[in-house]
Structure 1
Amino acid sequence: MTVRRSERKQEYPDLGILAGRTLFAVQRELFAEVAEQGHPELRPRHGAVLAYLDEEGSRATDLAAQSGQHKQVIGTLVDELVELGYVERQPDPADRRAKLIVPTAKGLDEMTKSDAAMSAIEAELAAAVGKEAYAEFKRVFKLIADRQSSRRA
């Protein structure tokens, strides 16, 4: 009897499938929690900006590099977030030609709430698999993510 590819992938998922399933599940939980706390208009795509944004502001090029997104994608997301009231563009005091993406009060509120929600998600996962196992998983997963990020940079 031949085992179908989809059955093999379900029983023995590869790294891409596991990473994708994890990403989408965490995003669903995180954005549902943040929506309940007053930010229902945000979508997971906005995380490419908000997850990496510094409280004092960040350059779009830095956000693109950190998130792995193209600068044009970041620009579109920043436009959306400006329209939604989460960020604003301000002159960069270190370089008058550059702009900083700076969170507004609404953006800072979302960042605080999403950080707390993410901490709660991680605490729940650590409790489910054991704190040491979860810490080791994160350590190894970071090594893999860093290695893969640097391969095509």
Structure 2
Amino acid sequence: MGRTARKTESPDLGMLAARLLFSLQSELFRRGAELGFGDLRPQYGAVLAYLDEEGSRQTELTRLAGRNKQTIGAILDELEKLGYVSRVPDPADRRARLIVPTARGREWMDLSDGIVADIERRHAAELGAATYAAFRETLQAITEA
């Protein structure tokens, strides 16, 4: 049996994680586009998934997303041009800037949280609540290890 057949029959953890991510992103951004957010792309999730309603520092977004500073900076530039975030002085430290969602950004955050919750409810219904809860616990343990 060749590698392709082996990987198809028994995908490794990376393949399974990628399939899960791409499936979730595909549905999230497709449904978002249907509701007026067609200008968003999956790579923007590196920022939008972690952005706090009160604002976040770029360094924190970079750390949480596991990306480099330049990548997050480029995504922030694009999101700012699209009207989803703005950069404002951090009241706690004048030298720092906060990335704050605009009204449109908050609208996307609320919508995307609802879509992801809907996807999770669907998976829980398909697998059973206890199985899905155990899956989430295990997946979280693996990603935190």
Pick the TM interval, shorter chain: over 0.9
Deviation at 1:36, TM superposition (A): 1.1
Please say if 1:137 is aligned against 2:135: yes
Deviation at 1:30, TM superposition (A): 0.6
User: Which residue of 2 is the match for residue 62 of structure 1?
Assistant: 60
* 2:56 alignment partner, SS class: coil
Q: Under a length normalisation based on structure 1, what TM-score does the superposition of the two structures give?
A: 0.94
The number of residues matched between the two structures is 145
* 1:137 alignment partner, SS class: helix
User: Which residue of 2 is the match for residue 151 of structure 1?
Assistant: none
* 1:96 alignment partner, SS class: strand
1:58-97 matched pairs, under 5 angstroms = 58-97=56-95
Q: Under a length normalisation based on structure 2, what TM-score does the superposition of the two structures give?
A: 0.99
Q: CA RMSD in A?
A: 0.5
CA distance in 2, matches of 1:35, 1:113: 11
Mapped contact 1:37–1:113 kept (Cα < 8 A): no
* 1:69 alignment partner, SS class: coil
Deviation at 1:34, TM superposition (A): 1.1
CA distance in 2, matches of 1:66, 1:141: 17
Deviation at 1:71, TM superposition (A): 1.2
Mapped contact 1:35–1:41 kept (Cα < 8 A): yes
User: Which residue of 2 is the match for residue 107 of structure 1?
Assistant: 105
Mapped contact 1:92–1:98 kept (Cα < 8 A): yes
- Identity score, percent: 54
What are the Cα deviations for residues 10-53 of structure 1, in whole angstroms up to 9, with x where unaligned? 00111000000110011000111111111100000000000000
CA distance in 2, matches of 1:143, 1:70: 24
